[in-house]
Amino acid sequence: ISLSVDESCQVRHSALEAARQVSNATIRDVAGEEGYALRVHVYPHHILRENKQATGAGADRVSQGMRCSFGKNVGTAARCKRGTTVISISTKPQNFLTAKDALRKASMKIPSPCSTEVVKGREHLKGLV
């Protein structure tokens, strides 16, 4: 089962980690340590920067304005185009509904609407899909 984004977006590293943790915890309770394989397909290579602006009295004398306006690193993000697979879970057919619920919980952490689809093994899921 895979979770893919429906719109292009940037997923911050903290959102990816939160999605990984919640999906891992949800499926581990039912499938056990060895009963599933979870994979995060995207990596946050893109560095996010912020040019902080001084506020308050006398800020115009202190701040540099747009001179050297590259800013400081505040985090990293993964750029995802529409249809990119973010997380996938491989498990046995009896754990399918739990895996689907784990990906639903993970999709709440992603800043784009997401959809789940069965990539492989649909023939083993009679009545569950």
- Please check the confidence at residue 70 and state whether its pLDDT lies above 90: no
Give the mean pLDDT of the chain.
91
Cα–Cα distance between 45 and 76 in angstroms, integer?
6
Residues 105/45/39/27 CA torsion (nearest 10 deg) = -30
Q: Within 13 Å and on the Cβ side, how many CA atoms surround 28?
A: 8
Phi and psi based region of residue 31 (left: phi greater than 0; alpha: psi -120 to 50; beta: remaining): alpha
* Predicted confidence (pLDDT) at residue 92 exceeds the cutoff of 70: yes
* Half-sphere exposure of residue 20: CA atoms within 13 angstroms, side-chain side: 15
In this structure, how many other beta carbons lie within 10 angstroms of the beta carbon of residue 117? 13
Please give the class, per CATH, of domain 2-48+73-123: alpha beta
Q: Would you kindly state where each structural domain of the chain is located, as residue ranges?
A: 2-48+73-123
pLDDT in tens, 26-43: 999 999 999 999 999 999
